[in-house]
């Protein structure tokens, strides 16, 4: 809900600004009017302008902490399941975890055509981790940022998958695995695949190389940007709905109904995007294992 003295535009921009740490270059003008001296200043950014001035090496602290924290939560939960697992009838979260494992195992067997014991655990990790990051989108947009603001933390984005640095970082990890297994499985055949497909003649090598490299690079970009785009759009709609609560008492009921409807629909998006990221990862790694 937009606070008093804050316009809707300022409210939206505030909620879309990451908690950023980096180095402000010398001569930068800070939010309080002070000028950064020689040698620059390592500090938390106050607003998007300071974050932009920090450049490429700035770190989105909130995205890193939430994504790592949710990853550790996944490891802790499934470690508990592994310790509790027995030959008897599973119950509670153990049953849910076993269903997830069987679901992922079935999808990997259907989609992945090579032999690699790492693919199924990787797919399970991606599915649950991305789902947990997406799930943060269902928390009220002002809840966690409002609580942290009381502790002096003025910016906080709690949905890591709305940060392109996180989604593209995960996609880059998948891309590195694709290249690794392509070279390991195919050897020099990978070079031939890039240069002699689809036109099997040396005169078309430049054309083949251009087409294959573009197709290869499109995979991680489509993987990361698809997740980011869908989650960012969903978060933006939640912020716009939250801004309606500040438009007056007459908007409380309509905004509440819209909020509930969008949250229910967004549950499908959260699950679907995690599943798509997992399936595409398995498909791309399966392609890397196929030796023609």
**Catalytic residue positions, numbered:** 222, 226, 230
Distance (Å, whole) CA 199 – CA 205: 8
Joined tokens for residue 74: 């996944």
Exposed / middle / buried, residue 268 (Cβ in 10 Å: 0-12, 13-18, 19+): exposed
Q: Give me the long-range contacts of 94-99 (CB less than 8 A, separation at least 24).
A: none
Distances in Å between the Cα of 223 and the Cα atoms of 19, 63, 82, 143, 289 are: 25, 18, 30, 30, 19
Distance (Å, whole) CA 62 – CA 30: 21
| Total number of residues shown for the chain | 292
Contacts of residue 230, defined as CB under 8 A and 6 or more positions apart, other chains included, come to 269, 273
């Amino acid at each position: 809900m937009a606070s008093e003295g804050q316009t809707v535009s300022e409210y939206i921009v505030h909620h879309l600004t990451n908690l950023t740490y980096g180095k402000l270059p010398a001569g930068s003008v800070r939010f309080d009017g002070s000028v950064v001296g020689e040698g620059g200043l390592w500090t938390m950014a106050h607003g998007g302008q300071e974050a932009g001035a920090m450049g490429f090496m700035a770190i989105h602290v909130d995205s890193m902490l939430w994504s790592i924290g949710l990853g550790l939560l996944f490891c802790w939960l499934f470690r508990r399941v592994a310790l509790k697992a027995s030959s008897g009838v599973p119950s509670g979260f153990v049953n849910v975890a076993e269903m997830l494992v069987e679901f992922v195992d079935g999808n990997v067997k259907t989609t992945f055509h090579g032999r690699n014991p790492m693919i199924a655990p990787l797919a399970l990790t991606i599915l649950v981790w991305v789902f947990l990051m997406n799930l943060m989108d269902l928390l009220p947009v002002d809840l966690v940022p409002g609580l942290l603001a009381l502790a002096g933390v003025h910016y906080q984005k709690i949905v890591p998958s709305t940060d392109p640095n996180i989604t593209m970082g995960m996609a880059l990890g998948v891309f590195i695995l694709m290249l690794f297994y392509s070279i390991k499985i195919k050897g020099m055949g990978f070079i031939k695949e890039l240069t002699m497909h689809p036109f099997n003649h040396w005169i078309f090598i430049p054309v083949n190389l251009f087409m294959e490299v573009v197709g290869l690079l499109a995979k991680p970009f489509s993987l990361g940007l698809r997740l980011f785009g869908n989650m960012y759009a969903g978060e933006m709609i939640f912020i716009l709905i939250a801004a309606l609560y500040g438009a007056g008492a007459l908007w409380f009921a309509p905004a509440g109904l819209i909020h509930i409807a969008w949250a229910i629909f967004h549950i499908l998006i959260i699950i679907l995007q995690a599943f798509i990221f997992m399936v595409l990862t398995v498909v791309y790694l399966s392609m890397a294992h196929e030796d023609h």
